[in-house]
Amino acid sequence: MSNEEIINTYKIAKEKYAELGVDVENVLNKLNKISLSIHCWQGDDVAGFEKADSKLSGGGIQVTGNYPGKARNIAELRMDLKKVYSLIPGKHRLNLHAIYGDFGGKYFDRDQISPEHFKGWVDWARENDLKIDFNSTCFSHPMANSGFTLSSKDKFIRDFWIKHVKKAREISAFIGKEQNNPCIHNLWIPDGSKDLPVDRFGYRKILKDSLDDIFSVKYKKSELKDALESKLFGIGSEAFVVGSHEFYLGYVLTHGKMICLDLGHFHPTELVADKVSSILQFSDELLLHISRPVRWDSDHVVTLNDDLKFLSEEVVRSGNIDKIHLGLDFFDASINRIGAWTIGARATLKSLLIAFLEPTKKLKEYEEKSDNFARLALLEELKTMPFGIIWDYYCQKMNVPVEAEIINDIHKYESKVTSKRY
């Protein structure tokens, strides 16, 4: 459709939503305030830049596929990220892992990284009007080969990872101070065992003590916010994961931290969306990692499926969206990586748009009157409402490609840029 056709159809769609009591212009203003934390690791298959030949190697996660054109260095990754941001409406953040530092061609082990290795990222983010979040990298390292890091019974291994996470938090605080906005530091560890352990209590006691040591170093909340990411199971830890949902939920609620819920870290039939309203009764903030599991925590590219729509509905209906931080967390090396990033980010924003377009007040009124038929009928009507027209209008307004233009745009970038990487 031409720009004029999009505007004309938008006016019709806007009137349709107005009949339900929805102010579409107000909805678009709300959507424009959403800031997704875009994960850097989709661009190079979680390899990082510690060494010239760095690649993901173990630690409970796995990337499948070998599509050509991945970023091989910081310059290429930044180029690809700029392209991705140009395809996503709104202003968003950058989520870095500790292995993505600018190490100047030298090797620094994980317990030796420092803020100076990320000053270049801070400068780049400032130039591009971005804010940064950060993650410790407790996998893909010889010291993680045993399957245990912060919960290891080997003090030498445990102390190495404690120091690494302390360094990562120091870097996060530096970033937060430099950007005058809190940097969220998220901690995920792969610790667990393939078969049934005997001393579950012992491992979890060690992890608790390690966390207490790590968090004994205090930073201003205006600079750093801590999140802990739980998991049900992983590759090589099918029988036992030390940092379970119950463990971390208990820890964050008693230590003033934030829980991170990843959509792929729970039972395949478990509705992560249902946890939002419970956690927000007791916690000031919540971090959500948006992923798409297929039978297991496979980190497929996020699409506009029911799980994502349910999650966005709960985020919006809770009335606490200002307390919820949204980050993407998937990595697919089997397709165009720019396309993967773009599809996932835009799908997440579309799901939030759908949730914002819901006449929640009217639905709650039906619910209060126990008119469950009317509630269900209205929910069904919403499924065929023209939200896609609203989405295209928003993209056009924000000067990014509308849905029908995405394929050609990314193919052109591939032809000119990523296909030249050998």
Q: Rounded distance, CA 176 to CA 194, Å?
A: 38
Catalytic, out of 92, 289, 309, 325: 289
Q: Kindly give the residue spans of alpha helices, DSSP state H, lying in 269-305.
A: 273-279
DSSP SS3 for 232: coil
| 94: three-class secondary structure by DSSP | strand
What DSSP state is assigned to residue 3? H
Of residues 231, 257, 275, 350, which has the active-site annotation? 231
- How many H helices and E strands in the chain? 14, 10
**Strand partners of residue 95:** 39, 133
Concerning whether 262 is annotated as a catalytic residue, the answer is yes
**Is 229 tagged catalytic?**
yes
Residue in 14, 117, 265, 309 annotated catalytic: 265
* 188 is known as an active-site residue: yes
Active site residue 289: yes
Catalytic residue among 44, 50, 297, 392: 297
- The stretches of 23-154 forming alpha helices (DSSP H) are 24-31, 74-85, 119-127
Told to judge if 154 belongs to the known catalytic residues of this protein, a careful annotator would answer no
Q: Is 265 designated active site? A: yes
Q: Examine the residue annotation and report whether 117 is marked as an active-site residue of this protein.
A: no
Residue 243: exposure state from Cβ atoms within 10 A (0-12, 13-18, ≥19) = buried
The residue from 299, 307, 313, 358 that is catalytic is 299
- From the list 223, 262, 314, 414, the catalytic residue is 262
**What is the per-residue DSSP string for 154-215?**
-HHHHHHHHHHHHHHHHHHHHHHHHHTSPEEEEE----EESS--S-HHHHHHHHHHHHHHHT
Out of 44, 45, 285, 329, which one is annotated catalytic?
A: 329
Catalytic, out of 133, 178, 226, 229: 229
Report the distance separating Cα 344 and Cα 308, nearest Å: 11
Is 325 a residue of the active site? no
Which region holds residue 399: left if phi is over 0, alpha if psi is between -120 and 50, else beta?
left
User: How far, in Å, CA of 412 to CA of 409, rounded?
Assistant: 5
Map tokens 């870095």 to a residue: 96
Catalytic residue among 188, 223, 245, 309: 188
Task: Decide: 111 and 160 in contact? Cβ < 8 Å.
Answer: yes
* Interatomic CA distance for residues 141 and 46, integer angstroms: 12
Residue 231 a catalytic site member: yes
What is the C-alpha separation between 37 and 32, in angstroms, rounded? Answer: 14
Burial 295-305 (b: 16+ CB within 10 A, else e): eebbbbbbeee
DSSP H helical segments within 99-148, as ranges? 119-127
Q: Which residues are catalytic?
A: 188, 229, 231, 262, 265, 289, 297, 299, 329
